[in-house]
Structure 1
Amino acid sequence: FFEFRQHILKQFNINYKINEKLNCQSLNLFFLVRHNYIAHPRNPSGKITRQLSNEKQILDDLKIKFSKYSNINFKINHFEELAIEEQLNIIIQTDVFIGMHGAGLTHVLFMKSNRILIELTTSVGSGREHFELMASINNVNYRRCLIIDGSSTTAEKIFDCIIEKISQICPLMTVSIHSQPIVTTFFPVVGNFSNSNITT
C-alpha cells in the first residue's frame, strides 16, 4: 500500500516527506464540505444526500471556537471542482481531516501517518467501517463522531470530538488563547497550506 501511495504522490510531484513528523504546536485542521454535483448517472440531479442542513451555522460556530487556539489553523473547502493535484496538496498538509461520511473521506489514504480522521455521521449503527479501515491501513487515528442533523448543539459535538482526539495524540500540547486570529478559506489550495489562507 505505501509504495502505491508514494507512486501516486510522486506522479503529482508531491513530496510526502516534508513535515512528516506531526507538529503539535501547529496543527492544520481541514473540514471537507459537500456541494451538489453529478457524480454518476444514477443521480442526474446532482443533489447529494449526506449534507448538514445547518452547515453554515455549524462552520461559523466552529470558526469561533477554534479562534481561541493560536496553534490551530482551521480550513474549509470542497473537492467537487478541484483537480486531483489540488485535492492531494490539501490532504498531504492536513493533520486533522473532518467530513461527513462519503467518498471524499477516501483521501485519508494519502494523509501522513499519526494524523486524525473525524468521520461525521448521523446514523448510529450504519455498519460501514471502510473509512476506519482505510485510516488503520495508513496509520491514521480514527474517530467516528455521531451528530444530530439540524441540532443547535452539533457544532459543540464536532468540536468535542476533534479536541478529544487531538488530546490523545498531543497530550502535552500547549494552547495559547486569543494570541492570534484563526485563518480560514473556501478557495482551492495548491502548494503550501499556509500560503492560501484568508484572515477573517
Structure 2
Amino acid sequence: HAILSPLGYETALFKGLSEVINCHGAPALDLLGSPDTAKTSRLTEFGEMLRASFGLPLKENIPKLFSAPNILFIRREDYLAHPRHSGKVESRLSNEQEVFDALKEWTSTRAKCKVRLVNGLFAHMPFREQVHAIQEASLIIGAHGAGLTHIIAAMPQTIILELLSSLYRRPHFSLISQWRGLTYHVINLQGSHASPDE
C-alpha cells in the first residue's frame, strides 16, 4: 500500500473544511461484494496495516486483555505546532490534568463496572504502545490535535469523544471517524477550559 498525499491543504481533511464529503466507513469485505461509491474501507485498511506492522491482532473479535471497558484519555503536551502561532504555544485543553483527575475519580467510583482509565501520554510512549492503547480502547477521549489521528487503528465499536476548543473548530476527527465508521461525539468548549463537574 502507498499513500500519496498532495502538498499543502489539498487533502480530503482540508477539503472537508469547506465542502461536504459524503463518504462513510464500511468493512472491505462488504464493499467487495456490493460496491458503493458513498462508502470506503481505505482508512480501516490503513489502520489494520498499521496494527499488523507491530504484530498486533487484526480480527474484530480479538479477546480483550481486560474484561472491563477501557477509557483512553489521549493527552497532549503543549508545543509549537504551526508557524501561524508566531512562536506562542497555545493549549487546546488548558486544564487537561484536572479533567484527567476527574475521570480518574469517576472511574474509581464505578467499581462494579470495572472501568479502566488509560493515561494516554503519547509523547512518552513508543509508537507501538500508542497503537496498542488505541486498539484496546472502548472509548477514546481527547482534545483536538492530541493524537486523535491514531483513531485510524481503533476497533470498529470504539466510541470517539473529542473535546473541541472554540479556538480550534475543525472537523478533522469527525471526518476520520465518519470515514472509519466509528461513533463520534463532540463536546464544544468555550475557550480551552473544560468543566469536569458537568
Calculate the TM-score normalised by the size of structure 1: 0.64
Residue equivalent to 2:69 = 27
Q: CA deviation at 1:103?
A: 5.2
Q: How does 1:31-46 map to 2 (within 5 A)?
A: 31-37=73-79
SS of alignment partner, residue 29 of structure 1: strand
Residue equivalent to 1:133 = 175
1:9 aligns with 2:51: yes
Structure 1: 5+ residue stretches without partners: 158-200
SS of alignment partner, residue 75 of structure 1: strand
Find the partner of 2:155 among 92, 103, 112.
Answer: 112
1:64 aligns with 2:96: no
Q: CA deviation at 1:93?
A: 0.5
Aligned length: 153
Structure 1 distance, partners of 2:76, 2:192, is 16
Instruction: Quickly say closer, same or farther: Cα 1:34–1:109, change in 2 above 3 A.
Output: same
Residue equivalent to 1:122 = 165
SS of alignment partner, residue 142 of structure 2: strand
Residue equivalent to 1:77 = 120
Give 1:57's aligned amino acid.
E
Select the structure of larger CA radius of gyration: 2
Calculate the TM-score normalised by the size of structure 2: 0.64
Instruction: Quickly say closer, same or farther: Cα 1:92–1:9, change in 2 above 3 A.
Output: same
Structure 1 distance, partners of 2:52, 2:90, is 32
Structure 2: 5+ residue stretches without partners: 1-41
Q: CA deviation at 1:57?
A: 2.4
Structure 2 distance, partners of 1:11, 1:46, is 37
Contact in 2 for aligned 1:16/1:92 (Cα 8 Å): no
Q: CA deviation at 1:113?
A: 0.4
Percentage of pairs with the same residue: 28
Structure 1 distance, partners of 2:59, 2:86, is 41
Farther off after superposition, 13-22 or 110-119:
13-22
SS of alignment partner, residue 89 of structure 1: helix
Structure 2 distance, partners of 1:124, 1:38, is 15
SS of alignment partner, residue 148 of structure 2: helix
Structure 2 distance, partners of 1:150, 1:27, is 28
Q: CA deviation at 1:138?
A: 1.6
